[in-house]
A = this chain, B = another copy of it.
Amino acid sequence: MHPYFSQEVPYAGLIQSSVRADFLLLDGDTPGGPMTSAEHSPLTRKLSAFVALSEAELAVLERLHQRRRTFAAGRDMVHQGQSDQAAYILSSGWVCSYKIQPDGTRQIVDFQVPGDFLGLRSVLLRTSDHSFEPIVTIEAAEVLKSDLLAAFAQTPRLATAILWAASRDEAMVVEHLVGIGRRDADARMAHFLLELGSRLALVGIGSKDGYDCPLTQYHLADALGLSAIHVNRVLRQLREGGVVTFRDGHVTIHDHDRLVDLAEFDPAYLDQTGPLLK
């Protein structure tokens, strides 16, 4: 296939095992010391926006972050082994989850940014059927099934909050489906950039005016169901139109209103209406 064809991924990506994830471990020496409330993890930040957590609950949540690990960019970390009963809480870096088609094309289903869970479902229910790839070198806290269930049993409200986050993730997948099915390339891109901005703002990364974003145009293409070349054209148009600039790993929003308008962006599905559970 043509080297420019973005959907191609190396065959090596198809044969990872849960064991190999351990090989990718670069260091395990970062002891997750107790955090002061000033330096809460992104997940804590995210959940706190919706559920007012007590001191005890916060403590349990922070304790879930103890087993810190680092994964190198580019190599898949997959959760499909019955043996691997762990999920991860992403504390820094970006990950994408995707499925490969038999013909080699790939579709990115979702991105994970700091504060997001990775493989939560494979712990609570059955094994996940798609793969995870760190986009940059990431830091994540490993959460064992037993830890998670224990935490849930101790603090039911925490369970509620985490399940709320999982449910929100699912709503994003549905919105993604709608976007690919019924929005043109420009609107899709605009919508995507807005959603990302919204998610990042929730964990205190970036602002209304923009955010750092390590994705390549190939990532965008595979996520939005477009070709990388068309992604480039769309980005140029948005840039020259003075709406938004995606360049050098940074998204700069010049005209937020016009972007929202273009995307017909209605953030209702993100359910970000402020702290609800007092």
> Is the CB–CB distance between A277 and B173 below 8 Å?
no
Residues on B with beta carbons closer than 8 Å to the beta carbon of A163: 11, 125
| Partner-contacting stretch, out of A61-69, A247-255, A264-272 | A264-272
Q: Residue A59 at the B interface, CB < 8 A?
A: no
Residues on B with beta carbons closer than 8 Å to the beta carbon of A182: 7, 101, 105-107, 225
Number of A residues contacting the other chain (C-beta, 8 Å)? 60
Question: Contacting A124 at CB < 8 Å: which of B18, B51, B181, B264?
Answer: B18
Contact with B along A144-182 (1 / 0, CB 8 A): 000001001100110110011001001101111110111
Taking beta carbons and an 8 Å cutoff, which residues of A are in contact with B?
1-2, 4-5, 7-9, 11-12, 15-16, 18-19, 51, 99, 101-103, 105-107, 109, 121, 124-126, 129-130, 149, 152-153, 156-157, 159-160, 163-164, 167, 170-171, 173-178, 180-183, 224-225, 264, 266, 268-269, 271, 273, 276-277
Given contact pairs A2-B273, A121-B170, a sample of 16 additional A-B residue pairs in the complex whose CB atoms are under 8 Å apart? A2-B276, A4-B164, A4-B276, A5-B160, A5-B277, A11-B160, A11-B163, A15-B124, A15-B159, A101-B182, A101-B264, A109-B174, A125-B167, A129-B171, A173-B174, A181-B225
